[in-house]
Structure 1
């Protein structure tokens, strides 16, 4: 039997697509190991097997230990891994997810590098969030003002719908318990959405740092994408959970959000939204997750095959008869 280190890497066609995976799984106070092509979570109550190829993001909370072999299979199957705080409300670090094509990363960089196209993508994001508002012609300040008013309106509307007394949004970093039940639920939902957005952004090969609304942070684009679904999914769900009970708000919010994400096929939608925003309608073959192609940049915007020695090119072809590796 071949050792793990000698197994061939999975090709993109063998991997489960991002939109078909579970949104996230949260583990705490257990040891995560590998059993064949699955991971196992072992605690005092026993061992649970989890098919790694079906995971979007694995959230590792306090008290978790993960082995090298477990990380190996998660890397092979393209699952994102994030180390988070208790109840999943703080993000500490993350591991890379699957991506073979640079098409979306290049499209993101092109759109971000130009001031006009960067603003254009930001306006497109606001159209997705608030379809009844036309942001065309709005400045950055105007977009921020529009968002602030709409989010406040959403809080008031959800409070009226659920009968919760709303005293305003309050969150003290590092002190999750300081807020009331609905604020804790909103925070828990937001952190989970950040994890889901991070998994999708990474799996598509985009840069988490190049944001169009947010800026200056390593997760700016992740925050942009998570906010697309804040007033539609995150905030209403948080108010629903808080209206049911004040007990165990964080974990109930995570479970409810997980179910809502699966019910609404949010991962598929998130993938499509990112492609639409960055490609501006050009959903070409270059963005296929099945691509496993490396090329070299040549003159005139032309790409040539990698792995060849161009020190002595064949006349008229620009290609070499000699392989580089």
Structure 2
């Protein structure tokens, strides 16, 4: 196995598209290490090999230890890594983008920096949630009211469908067991959805903190994206898990959610939605397969090649061919 310093950086062509990856893999009470380009999970039952380039998000539960080499290969593959607290109520994430282009990030920053375009993107997000109701004339407060009603109706609908009692959303920060089974399941589903959304946002090279509905949090955009799918994927999976009993509801929720995510093709859908939201007014451009290309900004919006010395104007036979490094 080569060292980090000797190992070459993977190119976008060598990495699995985020839409084609396994949504998430959950591990607990094991040691995560690396063997070649796979990670290994070692516990009392032996060693399990997991191809790192096929993982969307790696969920590390209680009792896990991870080596530097394992984190290195996960970062190279653009996999999100989530450290989950007891019952999955906390997480921290990271990962390297699968793209070398800043096209999506620049489009996100441009849309976010203008109040009018920021509202346009927010309305487009609500349009995905309410395809039969045009939100183009709605104020932000009206959009929030619509979303609140939608979520409440979803809770009531799923309670009726599964027979699981439901009064209201009741989340106790830091005390997962204080909620009833349905609330525990909804909390577990929400954390998984945030982790998955974070992995897609990071893989596409977007900024997690530049949200269009949420604001002021380091994962505002992640919360925006995860909320797009809460009523058709997250909440139904939670109620399905809660309907099976009170024991081990968090683990059952993760399994139910994993199945729904894989059968619905959520990762691919999430990628399409993010690109559609951020690039709606931009000319089509494929960002996944663009080779490493770094330009420098010059006057009048002109982009010039990087890695060249621009100390003086080009002369005959020179043409700025001198590399700067």
TM-score tier by shorter-chain length is over 0.9
Asked whether the equivalents of residues 10 and 76 of structure 1 are also in contact (C-alpha less than 8 Å), the reply is yes
Residue aligned with 2:243, SS:
helix
Is structure 2 residue 216 aligned with structure 1 residue 179?
no
The answer as to whether partners of 1:186 and 1:234 remain within 8 angstroms in 2 is: yes
Secondary structure at 1:90 match in 2: coil
Distance in 2 between residues matched to 1:43 and 1:115, nearest whole Å: 51
1:260: Cα distance to partner? 1.0
Following superposition, the deviation at residue 304 of structure 1 comes to 1.0
8 Å CA contact 2:95, 2:203 repeated in 1: no
Give the 3 Å change call, closer, same or farther, for CA 131–27 of structure 1 in structure 2.
same
Assess, with a 3 A threshold, how the Cα gap between structure 1 residues 318 and 244 changes in structure 2: closer, same or farther.
Answer: farther
| Aligned-residue offset at 1:4 | 4.7
Correspondences of 1:122-161 after superposition (within 5 Å): 122-161=122-161
Pairing 1:76–2:76 present = yes
Shift, 1:7, TM fit: 2.3
Counterpart Cα distance in 1 of 2:97 and 2:81: 8
Give the aligned partner of residue 39 of structure 1: 39
Structure 2 unaligned blocks of 5 or more: none
Moved over 6 A (4+): none
- Deviation of 1:318 after TM superposition, in Å, equals 11
Structure 2: distance between partners of 1:281 and 1:159: 40
Deviation sequence 1:186-212 (CA, Å, 0-9, x none): 111111000000000000000000000
CA contact (8 A) 1:81 1:96 kept: no
Map Cα deviations across residues 9-39 of structure 1 (whole Å, 9 max, x no partner): 1111011111111111111211111111111
Partner of 1:255: 255
- The total of aligned residue pairs comes to 325
- Decide whether aligned partners of structure 1 residues 317 and 132 sit closer, same or farther in structure 2, where only a CA change above 3 A counts: farther
Deviates more, 1:282-291 or 1:217-226: 282-291
Q: Secondary structure at the match of 1:32?
A: strand
User: Could you tell me how far 1:319 is from its partner in structure 2?
Assistant: 5.2
Structure 1 Cα separation of the partners of residues 101 and 318 of structure 2: 24
Instruction: Check conservation: 1:276, 1:283, Cα contact below 8 A.
Output: no
- 2:208 is aligned to 208
Instruction: Tell me which residue corresponds to 2:307.
Output: 307
Are the equivalent residues in 2 in contact too, given 1:308–1:322 (CA < 8 A)? Answer: yes
TM-score (norm 1): 0.95
Hey, what does 2:320 align to over in structure 1?
320
Alignment TM-score, normalising by the size of structure 2: 0.95
Q: 1:73-117: per-residue Cα shift (whole Å, max 9, x none)?
A: 112222121222123221135344434111111000000000000
Query: For the residues of structure 2 that align with 1:260 and 1:283, how far apart are their CA atoms?
Result: 33
Q: Tell me: CA distance 1:277–1:212, structure 2 relative to 1, closer, same or farther (3 Å).
A: same
Whole-angstrom distance in 2 between the partners of 1:128 and 1:79: 26
Name the counterpart of 1:111: 111
Write out per-residue CA displacement over residues 159-191 of structure 1, whole angstroms, 9 at most, x where no aligned residue.
Answer: 112222211111101111111111111111111
Q: RMSD across aligned C-alpha pairs, in angstroms? A: 1.8
CA distance in 1, matches of 2:28, 2:204: 27
Q: Which residue of 2 aligns with 1:24?
A: 24
- CA drift of 1:245 comes to 1.9
State the shift of 1:285 in Å: 2.2
